[in-house]
Chains A and B, each alone.
Chain A
Amino acid sequence: MKKEEINKLFEGLLNKYFDLKMVSLCTSDGFGILHQSRLDDEVELDRVSAITSSLVSLGNASSKQIIGGNLHSTIVETDNGNLLIKKLKLAEKELVLSIVTSKKMLLGEANYLITMCAKNIALM
């Protein structure tokens, strides 16, 4: 049931934001749950899940050992667009949400988008 709701949420976001290219949800240990994408080069959910869960865990280690705060998000900026990753909890399970946006979407807007999306999922 929740999976369907999340899928609808992802669909709605992709329809609303043209510059949103991918939305993906996986467990914190890198197992894929849901994935929607309109990237030119399609990436497999397994690969996205492994990479994003690793980046979050490395971001977490950085925040703990270098900055000393709680991790809010991990951001990868590239020539072609941005990847934003966020941890969230749903039914006591730690999950990882990630989005890819085109370069046209401002980083602040992308950050707002993933934050809202994570909040909506956490409330389900």
Chain B
Amino acid sequence: MYRKLVVIGDVGAGKSTLIRTLSEIETVDTDVTSSKNIGKPLTTVGIDYGRITLGEGDAIGLYGVPGQKRYSFIWDMVKEDIWACILLVKAEHLRAPDKLIDLINVFINDKEYCPLAIGVTHTDIKAINQVVIQKVLQEKGVNAPVFSVDARKKQSSLLLLHTLLSMHNANDFSKRENMA
């Protein structure tokens, strides 16, 4: 089984870093030098791709897409058949949740079941209360677990992946219960 995990989020939230941290293969990255001051020298303009093997014939493909709306043509290429979605939010960018909600809706709105986990990055630079984030997103109709994540660290990044696997398992269990 091949599962497609999409990593979305704002510019500089750490999408490419998370994919590099989690992937077991050398990632396909499309980073280029940034012409504007976005707080980092490189930015993704195409797609990041990585892969995690779970077992024989069982893998997760990691797809990172740029967060800027002008790259929506890439969103359209990636958004089909998504297994799960990770939203990375840079701690200091939380004041504009509407953009994030729009982005979430592009990827998971019309899916039968597509779990979402939210990772707040750069919390070492700016401390943030995750409950506040959760509340802001809940008010916009998004109910998803929120974690503080360091995308540079494997254990921290795996937390998001394990959460999504657990959410899928719980959903499968609930489906079986309903059928019984």
Interface residues of A (CB under 8 A from B): 27-31, 46-47, 49-51, 53-55, 57-58, 60-61, 65, 93-94
Contacts and interface: CB of A to CB of B under 8 A. Distances in A.
Interface of B: 26, 28-36, 43, 45-47, 68, 70-71, 73-74
A32 B73 CA distance: 16
Given A29-B33, A94-B32, A65 B26 contact: yes
18 contacts: A28-B35, A29-B32, A29-B33, A29-B34, A29-B45, A30-B45, A30-B70, A31-B36, A46-B70, A47-B70, A50-B45, A50-B70, A54-B30, A54-B47, A54-B73, A57-B30, A57-B45, A57-B46
Identify whether the interface residues of A are mostly helix, strand, loop, or mixed.
Answer: helix
Contacts of A94: 32-33
Contacts of B71: 30, 50, 54
A81 B70 CA distance: 24
The interface centre, meaning the residue of B46, B68, B71, B74 with most chain A CB atoms within 10 A of its CB, is B46
B28 A65 contact: yes
Given A47-B73, A54-B47, 5 more contacts: A28-B32, A49-B70, A50-B45, A54-B30, A55-B46
